[in-house]
Amino acid sequence: MAAEVINGKEIVRSIREEIKQEVEELSARGTTPGLVVIIVGDDQASHVYVNNKEKACAQVGIQSHVHRLPADTTQEELVKLIHEYNRNPEFHGILVQSPLPGHINEEQVVDEITPEKDVDCFHPVNVGNLMIGKEGMLPCTPAGVMEVLKKIGVSPAGKHAVVVGRSNIVGKPMAMLLLREHATVTICHSRTPNLQDITRQADILVPAVGKAGVIEDRHVKPGAVVIDVGMNRNAEGKLCGDVDFDAVKEIAGYITPVPGCVGPMTITMLLKNTLSSARRASNTGTEAGV
């Protein structure tokens, strides 16, 4: 029996409608959430991503501003700009779009964003809070995966979840969020021998390696929930995930399409983090980072 293809567009629509209502309520009390996206250079894919974020902000009523800088911007100039936005009460979220030009140290730049405005959840303070289970910002893509599981009524509690990939952006925080929800979690990666022997044990399988078609039907337990985080292009130039969708959908219980689910969910969680930051600033009577 073929898997149920998760309707990512409907999940995104419903969550963004909730965010829009909360933004309207917060704005009526005098605080309109604001997000600034800083982009350095002319990477075309980055500009597409930034435009999508800008449109999403407009959709839910979040004030957004894209600050475009030339490719020869120095690290010192970028850090100075970040400090200005740290102090700016109109913006509750700061995002520096990756990749940055090679002469800029991305890790050091991220560290300059005040944790309260780090809506990507890349700052070491926010990463540490995630590790110890403290409330705060959540990384957007893993948080989006958890929302998808919630929306389809799948609780990770007591299930075996396998994450394929160990990046700081997705793999590691994904494992932490699943563990927080009482799953038994295994992380696989490029050095894992006999990958299929482990992935076939998964009740919830989250591939996040960035390699088209790396997960085939032989890797999947019948009836498993497969949430594909990968975003690649196949030989024909079409967008695809890490999962061989046509083969795996005949085995899995649930499966996400690529594109159309985790990608827009990631942007949706960025909106949610910005709203949360604005709400915290409003509740304390001060602006985040000031």
Q: How many CB atoms lie within 10 A of CB 16?
A: 19
* Mean local confidence (pLDDT), 61-73: 97
Q: What is the residue-wise DSSP string for 117-152? A: GBTT--SHHHHHHHHHT-SS---HHHHHHHHHHHHT
Residue at token pair 């039907």: 217
> Quick one: angle between helices 44-60 and 262-284, nearest 10?
60
SS3 177: helix
pLDDT digits (tens, 9 = 90+) for 172-191: 999 999 999 999 999 999 99
Of the candidates 53, 117, 159, 249, the residue annotated as catalytic is 53
Quote the radius of gyration of the chain (alpha carbons, Å). 19
Please say if the pLDDT value at position 201 is more than 90. Answer: yes
CA 76 to chain centre: 28
The pLDDT, as a whole number, for residue 142 is: 98
Known catalytic membership, residue 44: no
The pLDDT, as a whole number, for residue 135 is: 87
Please say if the pLDDT value at position 290 is more than 90. Answer: no
The pLDDT, as a whole number, for residue 285 is: 54
Of the candidates 97, 172, 242, 249, the residue annotated as catalytic is 97
Known catalytic membership, residue 20: no
* Mean local confidence (pLDDT), 162-179: 98
* Mean local confidence (pLDDT), 108-135: 96
Residue 288 pLDDT grade (very low, low, confident, very high; cuts 50, 70, 90): very low
Residue 1 pLDDT grade (very low, low, confident, very high; cuts 50, 70, 90): confident
- Name the token pair of 65: 């501003």
Contacts of 15 (CB under 8 A, 6+ apart): 147, 151, 265, 268, 272
Of the candidates 63, 117, 118, 120, the residue annotated as catalytic is 120
Mean pLDDT of the chain: 96
Known catalytic membership, residue 53: yes
